[in-house]
Amino acid sequence: MYLFLIVLMNKNSFDVIIIGGGLAGLLCSIDLHKRGFSVLVIEKKSYPLHKVCGEYISNEVLPYLKRLGYNPSDSGAKEISRFMISSSNGASETCEMEMGGFSLSRYKLDHDLFELASSLGVELISNTAVTEISFNDDESFEVKTVEKTYGSNVVIGAYGKRSNIDKGLGRDFFSKRTSYLGVKHHFKGEHEDDLVCLHNFDGGYCGVSKVENGLINISYLITNDVLKRYKNINELEQVHLSKNPFLKNIFENSTPVFEKPLVISQINFGIKQTVEKHVLMIGDAAGMIHPLCGNGMAMAIHSTKLCSNQVSEFLSQKISRKEMESRYRNVWDKAFKRRLKLGNLMQPLFGKGWTSNTALRVIKILPSILPKVVSLSHGAPIQ
Ligand SMILES: Cc1cc2nc3c(=O)[nH]c(=O)nc-3n(C[C@H](O)[C@H](O)[C@H](O)COP(=O)(O)OP(=O)(O)OC[C@H]3O[C@@H](n4cnc5c(N)ncnc54)[C@H](O)[C@@H]3O)c2cc1C
């Protein structure tokens, strides 16, 4: 028997506490709130904020987003129906996308979801980091911030790819050094509205698409080893990335909007546990796919639905905590293992100059494989 009564008697207590108010955390809060549960979201930063992200989202998430009350078109998202790939030497191929997607800045998307969650009555605390989580014998959680301690029956980790929380939970991947970093700019310039591009260069690749306000998002993943060869990001882009003529064209003919690009390091694509010390992980906290496969956000959104389903069953006392955890592990693996495998298989093809040149030579001979590979990186619509 779970001590729901204790929770109801304590005003700092909730059915669910979600750590991290990014895309996954905010949508999960909306889903669970709509199912009638009390939810608190604690977010380290303040809204609105820019994030390193390619900002292309697969259309598979549209039915679920709309069901939760959010339609990206209302925020001016650009519809994307064509995909272009180029190798580091500038060979390129373009195809129509079967499912397609849309492009919307994280600045706008996360802020919209924050406003939607607030308007529905979700409790949200921003500008506050969670410092510690503990699970007690009475089957409840304590979640600490610097100022306060909160209680809940369920804790959901939606804090992204890497956080101090991972260290506290003793997660294996945390101590492993990684070789990738991510960089993002917004530019004023020319780019077709319906086109998303993946431009390769030696040591990484770069996504390009236009977002809602007409700016071009360029976002790339690069290895530390390559970055170290250059004095700074500007030199890296002017000398190294610009060996790809498509990127050279952007850097020469577009105007950067940010004073400095956004940079994140320690990007880890290793295997993570879906449930860690009874905390259910969603979004990047559960596992991160190579951005090359383009759909980390769709995975993050899908995982919120899978998690909300199991949490709802548990809080309605239809299943035990043990069942909730094992079911969530199973549905997560079933939904994403194949996609993660595809990402791991494709990554070596596009991380190096010669491999991307070879892959493009093959695509040029057999152009029909390109839309098939793009389709494999998109999932079925999430209702
Ligand atoms: C270079 C690059 C390009 C990408 N391009 C694409 C793309 O084009 N399309 C796509 O679908 N995906 C892309 N992705 C992946 C995508 O960005 C992620 O999958 C997505 O952001 C995951 O969302 P999330 O909600 O799990 O995490 P986030 O959006 O990272 O949210 C986590 C939140 O938790 C907060 N937080 C962290 N620690 C704490 C704490 N202790 N207490 C409270 N809050 C905390 C953070 O401030 C943050 O707001 C890309 C990733 C990279 C690196």
Q: Is the CB of 42 under 6 A from ligand 1?
A: yes
Cα 54 from Cα 103, distance rounded (Å): 9
Atom of ligand 1 nearest to the CA of 288: 19
- pLDDT of the residue at 8: 45
Question: What is the rounded CA–CA span in Å between residue 198 and residue 206?
Answer: 6
Q: Is 286 close to ligand 1, i.e. is its CB under 6 Å away?
A: no
Range 203-235 burial, b when 16+ CB lie within 10 A, else e: bbbbbbbbbbeebbbbbbbbbeebbeeeeebee
pLDDT in the model for residue 11: 64
Q: What pTM, to 2 d.p., does this model score? A: 0.94
| Token pair 């290895």: residue | 223
3-state DSSP call for residue 154? strand
**Sign of the CA dihedral with 80 first, then 212, 128, and 306 last:** negative
Position 218: which residue type? I
Contact present, 169 and 254 (Cβ < 8 Å): no
Under DSSP, the state recorded for 121 is T
Q: Ligand 1 centroid vs 317 CA: distance in angstroms?
A: 32
**How far is 246 from 199, CA to CA, in rounded Å?**
7
Segments of the chain scoring below 50 in pLDDT: 1-9
Residue 236 backbone class (left: φ over 0; alpha: ψ -120 to 50; beta: rest): alpha
- Residue 196 Cβ contacting ligand 1 at under 6 Å: no
**How far does the centroid of ligand 1 lie from the alpha carbon of residue 59, in Å?**
18
Say yes or no: CB of residue 43 within 6 Å of ligand 1.
Answer: yes
- The Å distance, Cα 11 to ligand 1 centre, comes to 30
* CA–CA distance, 122 with 68 (Å, rounded to integer): 13
Is the minimum distance from the CB of 157 to ligand 1 under 6 angstroms? no
* Shortest-distance Cα residue to atom 17 of ligand 1: 53
Which of 23, 26, 145 has most ligand 1 atoms within 8 Å of its beta carbon, as the pocket-test mutant?
23
Question: Is 54's C-beta closer than 6 angstroms to any atom of ligand 1?
Answer: yes
Ligand 1 nearest-atom number relative to CA 295: 11
Q: Name all domains of the chain by residue range, CATH numbers in brackets.
A: 4-51+105-176+268-347 (3.50.50.60), 56-99+177-265+351-383 (3.30.9.100)
Q: Which of 40, 43, 68 is nearest to 302 (CA)?
A: 68
